[in-house]
Amino acid sequence: MSGGVAIGLLAGLLLAAFLAPPAGAWRPALLAADLATLLAVLLGALGAWAVWRGKAWLRGGVWMLALASLVAAAMLADQEGDVIVAVLLAWPFVMGFAAAALKTVGDETVAALGAAGFSPGRAALALWLPRMMPGLLAGGGMAYAALLGLRLAPDLPPLAAYLLTIAPLFAAALGLWHLAR
């Protein structure tokens, strides 16, 4: 999992370095897109928790809300001609969805893959992915926090920018704590 965190942090640094605009460059529609994407990330984290805890009554609604928030973010960014940024901002949510899906892959699944004729390398990859993905999720949350903080800070009061930056970091830390138990 530590390897996933390192990869996620590196991706976050690269995203922040290449995509952060100059101060004051954000228009209201892009701010709304970032906020909608933040909502998608947080709801996606809640959905992942619901999947891990087996709460079927919750996970379906949470995933649908997260997907709706993600679509809203993409539409808002598209109005500003910033589709690529919308896709990149969606990365932590995609990681969350993948982590929740791959969490169900266990030793039994790997054994079944081997029995089905998969090579040892592919079976090992199927075992490695679920262990790596939570770290990627945490790193993705940190990457999103870094990018969001850099983009929103010039246009928001300091306290608001601080809270928006801390929220994904807190979610990532909580996820790591839960997985480490």
pLDDT for res 46: 64
Asked whether the predicted pLDDT for residue 141 surpasses 50, the reply is yes
Q: 81 pLDDT band (50/70/90 cuts)?
A: low
pLDDT for res 2: 45
- Average confidence (pLDDT) over 84-105: 53
pLDDT for res 172: 55
77: tokens are 């960014």
How many other C-beta atoms lie within 10 A of the C-beta of residue 177?
9
The domain spans of the chain are 25-134
* 63: helix, strand or coil: helix
- Average confidence (pLDDT) over 97-113: 57
Taking alpha carbons only, the member of 128, 104, 105, 101 closest to residue 47 is 101
B/e letters for 43-66, b = 16+ CB within 10 Å, e = fewer, are bbbbbbbbbbeeeeeebeebbebb
Q: 86 pLDDT band (50/70/90 cuts)?
A: low
Asked whether the predicted pLDDT for residue 124 surpasses 50, the reply is yes
Residue at 155: amino acid letter: D
- Average confidence (pLDDT) over 25-33: 59
pLDDT for res 1: 43
Q: 126 pLDDT band (50/70/90 cuts)?
A: low
Check: pTM over 0.95? Answer yes or no.
no
What is the residue-averaged pLDDT of the chain? 58
Percent of the chain past pLDDT 70, that is, above it, reads 0
- Average confidence (pLDDT) over 57-85: 59
Cα-Cα end-to-end distance for the chain: 13
- Average confidence (pLDDT) over 167-178: 56
DSSP state of 155: G
